[in-house]
Amino acid sequence: MEDFLIQLRGVTKRYGEGASELMALKGIDLDIRAGEFVAIMGPSGSGKSTAMNVLGCLDTPTSGEYLFKSAHVEALERDQRARLRRRYLGFVFQGFNLLARTSAQENVELPLLYRGESTSVRRAAAAKALQAVGLGGWEQHTPAELSGGQQQRVAIARAIATEPAVVLADEPTGNLDSQRSHEIMGLLLALNKDHGITVLMVTHEPDMAAYARRMVHFLDGKIVRDEINTHPTTQAPQTPQAVVDAIAQEGST
């Protein structure tokens, strides 16, 4: 049997009962190998966000199997799922979800704090993660002192500070303009290619999904198409020097 990092087998998710019942997932089968970059696509209500919540151990399936590294996640207790999240998963959200009055350094340290790491370990890991996303020197800036693109970089640094096996990104460019969106996608691509992090990204934007090597399309709670992207975008569009200079000045006042 082929070795997969993630497997979903016949996964369903039901909300409500009787006349108000909603089947958000209707028997999903999905295999994901370590090191893949997968875009999960579909219209509103298609089931893609529900699938992401299940994959991220934020929700449990009504029926079916979810295997992570061959372990049956659907059989785990709540505390066990939380430990799996802390050990193996990193999350990036559309709304950044940063603590407003807390520095970039402290925001990135949060998942390490929840893991019970020492102050020295947290600080070293956060500094390394911020350096990896191009924010070395910005550790003490609060979100209000950062641009939207910089805030999302802090959010990505927070996601990778624990050295996860998988980063789950839910519409990571949804609140950004086109230029910043491509910068963030270039960063996710680099994390995938250079660090071997598996990236699972929900998006409704075809030009963002084009960075992924695989596209899984949802509709009405089912996977209707699972295809390889034979010509993925391999780098972000060249940033004009004037934009580079402007980015360098952001948050400095």
Residue where the block lists tokens 């016949």:
10
pLDDT at 177: 92
Label residue 224 exposed, middle or buried (CB < 10 Å: 0-12, 13-18, 19+). Answer: exposed
| Region at 134 (left for phi over 0; alpha for psi -120 to 50; beta for the rest) | left
CA distance 75 to 124: 35
The letter for the amino acid at 125 is: A
Q: Taking the domain 38-60+86-249, which CATH number applies?
A: 3.40.50.300
pLDDT at 19: 85
pTM: 0.89
How many degrees, rounded to 5, is the angle at CA 241 between CA 154 and CA 183? Answer: 30
pLDDT at 238: 56
Domain boundaries, given as residue ranges, for the chain:
38-60+86-249
pLDDT at 20: 87
pLDDT at 236: 62
Per-residue tokens: 105: 């350094």
What is the β-pairing status of strands 37-41 and 198-202? Answer: parallel
Over the chain (253 residues), what is each successive 10-residue block's mean pLDDT? 87 92 96 97 94 96 97 95 94 92 96 93 96 94 95 96 96 92 94 95 95 97 97 71 47 45
CA distance 104 to 138: 7
